[in-house]
Chains A and B, each alone.
Chain A
């Protein structure tokens, strides 16, 4: 089954304790991205990757790191989490990073990771 898998789905942690949220897709997609979802703010992009070894900042990258060593994986790293990073995080992927290519531009989302930082 084609899917984007995120882990963990739920996590409660404390300020300053490094954590990694993993994201893996099995669709051979080139483009991957991380979003955070906060009430009233919709989805805001944290980082994105157009292909392996190519990553760039989105709209709210502060406090986050990513890596793209393999095509299928795109982990999100919080080196020193703070309470303002409490949020619902989504990983997404698409075959192409160009939306206007039609079906190849459709984003596929993981089920989300709810993170609470105390």
Chain B
């Protein structure tokens, strides 16, 4: 079965600094990968997704992620963090069947942004 690991439970960065959130997956084939963001008091919102093709994908709010098959990683990055980026971030991977029922989420990384 597929699995997702987010090694960092909590990350703190200063506003304006760069950000990288790590995501590692375990999967037997070519995965479809996602990053979701959960702002305080809100539901999850899709930031970006990787299906195929270019391994660097752009998302909303200035985020990007790079798929590295050799490292089984799909790390999320942002060049300059804004205070409004403080939220919890979830990486997710689908299953070989492609069913949403079997979408697996990581345990999340809480991002704190210092002024």
Contact = CB atoms under 8 A, between A and B. Distances in A.
Interface string A41-52: 111010010100
Interface string B48-61: 01010000000000
Nearest to A44: B105
Nearest to B9: A40
A34 to B, nearest CB: 12
Nearest to A100: B98
| B interface: dominant SS | loop
Nearest to A91: B43
A107 B107 contact: no
Interface residues of B, number: 22
A11 interface: no
B32 interface: yes
B40 to A, nearest CB: 11
Interface of A: 4, 31, 33, 40-43, 45, 48, 50, 56, 58, 90, 92, 94, 96-102, 105-112
Given A42-B90, A108-B43, A111-B41, 7 more contacts: A42-B105, A42-B106, A45-B101, A102-B51, A105-B98, A107-B100, A110-B43
